[in-house]
Structures are given as C-alpha cells and as structure tokens.
Amino acid sequence: KAFFTIAHIIRSRGIKPESLTPEVFDYVFLGIGSVENVSRVSGIPIDVLEEMRREFTYWYPVDHRHTGVPHISNHLTFYILHHIAIFGDKLAPRLISLNETVIREGAKMSKSKGNVIPLRHISTRYSADLFRLYISWAASLDSILDWRETDVEKVVSSLLKFVSVAKSAIACKSSVSSSVYTDWFINKFYSLIEKAMEHVENLEIRDYVQTAFFDILSLVDKYREMTGENYVCGVKEVLRDWITVLNPVIPHLTEEINSWLGSSELISTSKWPTIPSIDEEIIYLVDSVDSLIEDIREIVSLTRRENPRVYIIVAPDWKREIARYVYDGVQLKLVVEVVRSRFNLKGREAEVVEAYNFFRKSDREVLSRIIKTRSRREFEVYSAMAGYIKTRIPGLSEVTVMWEDEARSRGIPKAERALPLKPALYIE
C-alpha cells in the first residue's frame, strides 16, 4: 500500500529501478536522511523526492479503514503487524470497522450458484445512489446483509417519493404561514436531523439512514396529512438542510436537487447544518394528539352514537406541578401543603394525593415530557388541532376543548380524570 502512493510518480518521471535505493525509501516512507544527500546518492531531483514524500504522508495514513469480518484472520492482521514493524506508531490507522458478509435472497452468493451481482452492473441496473441507500439501510454493520429485490423495490419507491417531494417543494412560490403544524414540523425535523448526525458520529449507519431518510419522509407524510397540499412550502424551508445530511448516502441525487434550488456550491464541500434551538414542547404536545385520536376513536366505537360531540378536557396547572414534584422526589406531605396553598385547593387534598400516587407509578420519561410542557400551551395546541382531530374520526359533529374546572362546573362526567398530556374525554 505504501508503494502505491508513489508508483504514479515513479512511472510519470521515468525513475529507473537502480535509482530506487534504500536511502530513497528511508526518506520517503520514514523521513530519515537529508533530501539533498538522498538526491545526490539516487540521482532523483530534490523536488521529485519531496513530492513523493508529500504523496506518501497524505495518502498512506487513514482515519477510517472499513472492510469485512473474514479479513480479520489474514489481511487485517498483517496490515497492522507490517505497519508496526516498519513504521512504528506513526501514521497508524486511527480506526478499523467491519461488516458481516452479504447474501442474496437468503443464500450465500457464489459464482457456481449464479447469484452474484457484479459491481460493474450496479450503476446501470440499480444506480449508485440506490445501491448506497439500500446497503446502508438494509443491515447494521454487525449483521448479515441479505440483498432482496422486493426490498430494493420498496427503497426505489421511497427514493422516487423523495424526489417528488423535493420537486414540489422547490415549485412552491409562497412563504409558509406560521401555525401549530408548521412549528411542530420544523422542530421535529431538526430533532431528527440532530439524531441522525449523532448516529453518524457513532458509526450507526443504518440508524442514520433510517432517521435522516425514512423517518423524515414519514414526518413529511404526517405534515401533509395535517395541512394539505400546502405542506410543500414548509418542506422547502428545510430542504437544503435535509439534502445536506443525506449527501453522504445519496450524493448524486442530493447534488442534483441542490442545483434545482439554484445553488452553485457543492453540498459535499459544505458544512453540515447548524441545529437551531429545538422547541421540545410543541413536539410533545402535537405528538400526543395521535394517542388522543385513538382514544376518541375507541370511545366513539364503543358508544355507537350518531354524530357525537366530543369534549377534550385539559388538566389544570396544579396537576402538572405535582408531576414536577414527583419527578424531583419531593415527599407527599410537603406536596399536599404546597399545592393546597398555592392553588387554593383546601378541601380537595384527596385529589392531590390521588394525582401524586398516579405520577409516582409513571415512567420518568413520561414525567419528563409532562414537566417540559405547559397547561396553557396544551390547551392552545388541542384547540388549534380540533379541526384536524374531527377530520380523523368520521362522524364527529363537533370537537370542543375546555378546561377541567369549566367542565366540572358544567357537570360533565369524569372531568376530574384529566391529566397532563392525557386529557379526559366525554362523548355527548
């Protein structure tokens, strides 16, 4: 490998074998000796020797060598041993990663079986980007990759869908309007981008592709479901950052889309996106609507009422405050005293105890989400999404969002069961 880094110079300069003395290799590969002395002994010009030295020191050391597990017992072992024997610790490979073998349709690939896919056929039969996307996603580095044509076709469909979304987004001429849906989409997009970048840093390539490509494509679908065809204007806001993060896996396609955006700069030479401050609250609140819709759908199915009206009853601040105290490990007695005094709940201590005991049994991740959200904003998000909720459940005549205290004053049953991110529901 070391010789390969200077072979082209030897050929182009017509350097004869007798000129390649031990002093030449000591200087080029080990940095030993004076270039002037080496030039005098070998007859090779100083500028050529310096060029050879530069080529070797640039091309020989690697930050990351990737190969297959079967090479451990022979190739990789000698790669490391030979390097240490000749060069010592200098210019040693910084990282070696491995992947398992590739099989096809559940069977080992071999010429005798006729199921080998020659690499030279990849670009014409599948395209380089499709191949890169599929093998990066189909298996993690520590598992066997099973090449299956049906799965490849699914990836083709996703890739074509991605291109269609990009074209539609670029064609959008209007600016995206601010809304609960767009705020959620933008913030969730960047939370996924941040997650994908972390996967790359940890060499979790499959997870990176799943997050940066497939999960964001699903996010776009959800955003479209919420907002209609105007979704493309929101996608346009983040398209450049999306294709930038996808560039390592589908470089040709993302560079093409980048040119459609009117950019003359190559993505491959640009920096990765800077992640803005992410509003986790809007993500948690809008995400919670999916489970809310499922709960409403189930209740409507059980009651079998025609054109029902649903009340979404939002929990008051004091219940969220109790969740915060439980998360911080505050004892029940102190919680009762503080909450009763702060929220004027004299005579309702039993409700405080009940909420405290409920949250004590809750998962800490659930509590974390609760304390990162506010009751007022929960009410605002559900109110803004009432129309969307209605469209997701055919037959609903109306969706009304109200506070627990108002619902209780109006005698609506089970209003007291409202919890943060888990509102009480009443079908009328």
Residue-range domains of the chain with CATH: 4-99 (no CATH), 121-269 (1.10.730.10), 281-427 (no CATH)
Structure tokens at 137: 């996603």
Strands 424-427 vs 309-314: parallel, antiparallel or unpaired: antiparallel
List, in sequence order, the alpha helices (H) in 274-374: 280-303, 317-328, 332-342, 349-360, 364-371
CA angle 284, 288, 293 (to 5 degrees): 160
Rounded CA gap, 406 and 412, in Å?
A: 9
pLDDT of residue 224: 97
What is the value of pTM for the model shown?
Answer: 0.82
Tokens (6 digits) for 35: 């270039």
Cross-strand partners of 147: 104
pLDDT in tens, the chain (428 residues): 899 999 999 999 999 999 999 999 999 999 999 999 999 999 999 999 999 999 999 999 999 888 888 888 888 999 999 999 999 888 888 988 887 777 677 777 777 777 777 777 777 888 999 989 988 888 777 777 777 888 889 999 999 999 999 999 999 988 888 899 999 999 999 999 999 999 999 989 999 999 999 999 999 999 999 999 889 999 999 999 999 999 999 999 999 999 999 999 999 999 999 999 999 999 999 999 999 999 999 999 888 888 899 999 999 999 999 999 999 999 999 999 999 999 999 999 999 999 999 999 999 999 999 999 999 999 999 999 999 999 999 889 999 999 999 999 999 999 999 999 999 999 98
Give me the phi and psi of 19, to 5 degrees please. -80, -15
Residues 6 or more apart whose CB falls under 8 angstroms from that of 224 comprise 231
Query: What is the rounded CA–CA span in Å between residue 180 and residue 385?
Result: 8
Strand partners, 311: 400, 426
Which residues on neighbouring strands pair with residue 309, listed in sequence order? 398
Determine the Cα–Cα distance for residues 56 and 29; give it in Å rounded to an integer.
7
**C-alpha dihedral sign at 353, 354, 356, 360:** positive
R_g of the chain, CA atoms, integer Å: 31
Do residues 199 and 191 make contact, with C-beta atoms less than 8 angstroms apart? no
- With beta carbons less than 8 A apart as the criterion, state whether 413 and 428 touch: no
Distance CA 279, CA 277 (A): 7
Residue of 168, 312, 188, 147 lying closest to 231 (CA atoms): 168
Other beta carbons within 10 Å of 269:
6
Model pLDDT, residue 335:
96
Contact 63, 95 (CB under 8 A): yes
Q: Which two tokens stand for residue 123?
A: 């670009």
CA distances from 74 to 32, 62, 79, 404 (A): 30, 19, 8, 70
Determine the pLDDT at residue 141: 74
Give residue 66's pLDDT.
86
Per-residue confidence (pLDDT) for residue 344, from 0 to 100? 95
pLDDT value at residue 69:
84
Distance, CA of 359 to CA of 47 (rounded, Å) = 75
Quick one: which of 233, 232, 231, 220 has its CA closest to 175? 233
In 3-state terms, the chain is what percent helix, strand and coil (to 5)?
65, 10, 30
> What confidence score (pLDDT) does residue 194 get?
98
Cβ within 8 Å of residue 193, ≥6 positions away: 212, 216, 241, 242, 245, 273, 275
Rounded to the nearest 5°, which phi and psi values hold at 412? -75, 125
Contact 99, 204 (CB under 8 A): no
CB-CB contact of 284 with 188 (8 Å) = no
Per-position b or e across 273-287, b if 16+ CB within 10 A of its CB = beeeebbebbbbbbe
Q: How far is CA 329 from the centre of its chain?
A: 33
Confidence (pLDDT) at 304: 81
pLDDT given for residue 99 in this prediction: 78
> What 3-state DSSP class applies to 139?
coil
Is residue 387 within 8 A of residue 263, CB to CB? The reply is: no
| Contact status, residue 151 vs residue 134, Cβ threshold 8 Å | yes
Token digits of residue 259: 């040119």
Burial code of 212-243, b = ≥16 C-beta within 10 A, e = fewer?
bbebbeebbebbbebbeebbbbbbbbbbbbbb
Residue 249 burial (CB < 10 Å; 0-12/13-18/19+)?
A: buried
